[in-house]
Structure 1
Amino acid sequence: MAEPERPALSLTERRKAATQQEIALTAARLFAERGAEGTTAEDIARTAGVSLRTFYRYFRTKEDAVAPLLADGSRQWIELLATTAPDTPLLPALVESARGALDPAPGRPAASLAWTRGLLRAMPDDPALRDVWHRTQHEAEAALRPVLAARTSLPADSLDVRLLAAATNAAMRVAVEAWAAGDTDPTGAADLAETAFRHLTGPLTEPN
């Protein structure tokens, strides 16, 4: 069954989304360059070209500012997985969607992946930043369940689907974190994701 079309965003909604994304990218870049401790909400707002009041209209804390960027990567992956041909086996579908989400492409330049790498490298030293990362990962895991349920013909709240969502999301997270900790080029993230998915064997990749 085809996915229902989403209603078009109004001009105001598009402007708000663009402003939020610009703040998120600015925060990620500054955190990558200076670390979270060396970056203030005022720094982010000034560099993004918005007032501090506007910043706090969108985000409660400076660390929250990167949540849209982190969530967007997971969202792209899950949407690509959802639109992969239904007859594609799960493992190839996971690999194909991960490559589509992680490899540099128009609208997702290598520079933004470099900021993501710097951002993930800054996380071990900042508990608040780690909390944002883990929150977005928890949300991604929940979003994966209905997609995986549709591909496996299992109930979304079943133990098998919950385990599968947890395992595949963890594989993607670990791959991205391992890429961020190293020095390979942006395509290395997709290579690591493929390796991680291939390590998921048995009933996790072929549910009954």
Structure 2
Amino acid sequence: MPTEPRPTTRPSLTERRKADTQMEIARTAAALFAERGATVTAEEIARTAGVALRTFYRYFRTKEDAVAPLLAVGVRQWIDSLAAQATGPDAAPVRAALEQAARQALTPADEPAAEALRRTRGLLRAMPASPALRAVWHRVHHDSEEALMPVLAQLTDAGQLEVRLAAAAANTAMRVAVEEWAAGDGPASGPQGPADLVARGMRALTAGLPELDDPKK
């Protein structure tokens, strides 16, 4: 059975303020990159976010790194959702839980979530002109794959190779779905929305992994 999660300590007020500042800079950077592309400077991001340039560099090494927290938060929510859906006596098989968690992550539940998807679309459109920005996108997805593997290992009796393949397949389905949606002009819902695209990709890429249908013994 999956182990019980360890109690977590609530972050201090200082830590929460730092996290809020970091995320505000990330949102500002994403909006500026989406609007103006790679010509945006760290100075402009800091000024628009209302922080000193030295504060910006306290959190981020480069202007492109500033968007990483915004991209990573959705990844973390997706993995946490998977862990929650695939545990308990009535849990769905891992394959179904993967698809359900991915759909949930890419279906905006409110306006802030819809705005986050729009920011991601704008960032992706700015990436062809910015290899450094594209590198951040791929680094976030690499980290996502690494974080997904231990979760899948807890949820299935599959071997190490199958767990790695499942993590790679699920992560690739998420990345490609968002990239395909971002390349067009369609809404965030419907058959060409990211949620439907990720479901199609997940089924195609995990079809050769029957271990994802077996409950953990």
State the TM bucket, normalised to the shorter chain.
over 0.9
TM-score, structure 2 as length reference: 0.89
Q: How does 1:10-29 map to 2 (within 5 A)?
A: 10-29=12-31
Who is 2:151 aligned against? Answer: 147
Q: Is the 8 A contact 2:26 2:67 kept in 1?
A: yes
Corresponding residue number in structure 2 for 1:174:
176
Structure 2, unmatched stretches of 5+, are none
Distance 2:129 2:117 in 1: 20
Q: Which residue of 2 aligns with 1:190?
A: 195
Q: Distance in 2 between matches of 1:199 and 1:149?
A: 21
Q: Which amino acid aligns with 1:199?
A: A
2: CA distance between counterparts of 1:79 and 1:26? 26
When the two chains are superposed, the root-mean-square deviation of aligned CA atoms in Å is 1.6
Deviation at 1:201, TM superposition (A): 4.3
C-alpha separation between the residues in 1 aligned to 2:200 and 2:129? 28
| 1:58 and 2:59 correspond | yes
Structure 1 residues 164 and 51: alpha-carbon distance in aligned structure 2, compared to 1, 3 A threshold:
same
Please report how far the alpha carbon of residue 195 of structure 1 lies from its aligned counterpart in structure 2 after TM superposition. Answer: 1.2
Q: Which runs of 5+ in 1 are unaligned?
A: none
Residue aligning to 1:83? 84
TM-score (structure 1 length as normaliser): 0.92
Secondary structure in structure 2 of the residue aligned to 1:109: helix
1:109 aligned partner: 113
Evaluate the alpha carbon distance shift between residue 114 and residue 135 of structure 1 in structure 2; reply closer, same or farther with a 3 A threshold. Answer: same
CA distance in 2, matches of 1:205, 1:189: 25
State the alpha-carbon separation in 2 of the partners of residues 33 and 202 from structure 1: 39
Q: Which residue of 2 aligns with 1:204?
A: 209
> What fraction of aligned residue pairs are identical, expressed as a percent?
62
Residue 90 of structure 1 contacts residue 205 of structure 1 at CA under 8 Å; is this kept in 2? no
For 2:68 and 2:23, locate their aligned partners in 1 and report how far apart those are by CA, in whole Å.
Answer: 10
For residue 57 of structure 2, what is the amino acid of its counterpart? Y
Residues 179 and 205 of structure 1, relative CA distance in 2, 3 Å threshold: farther
Q: Report if aligned partners of 1:45, 1:51 keep a CA contact under 8 Å in 2.
A: yes
The corresponding residue for 1:99 is: 103
Whether 2:35 is the aligned partner of 1:33: answer: yes
How far apart, in 1, do the equivalents of 2:139 and 2:113 lie? 25
SS in 2 for 1:203: coil
| Deviating more after overlay: 136-145 vs 180-189 | 180-189
For the residues of structure 2 that align with 1:115 and 1:33, how far apart are their CA atoms? Answer: 10
In structure 2, what is the Cα distance between the partners aligned to 1:201 and 1:63? 32
How many residues were matched structurally? 205
- For 2:164, the equivalent position in structure 1 comes to 162
Q: Per-residue CA shift, 1:104-155, capped at 9, x if unaligned?
A: 1248431221111000111122110111111111110000101111121245
Alpha carbons 1:33, 1:118 under 8 Å: kept: yes
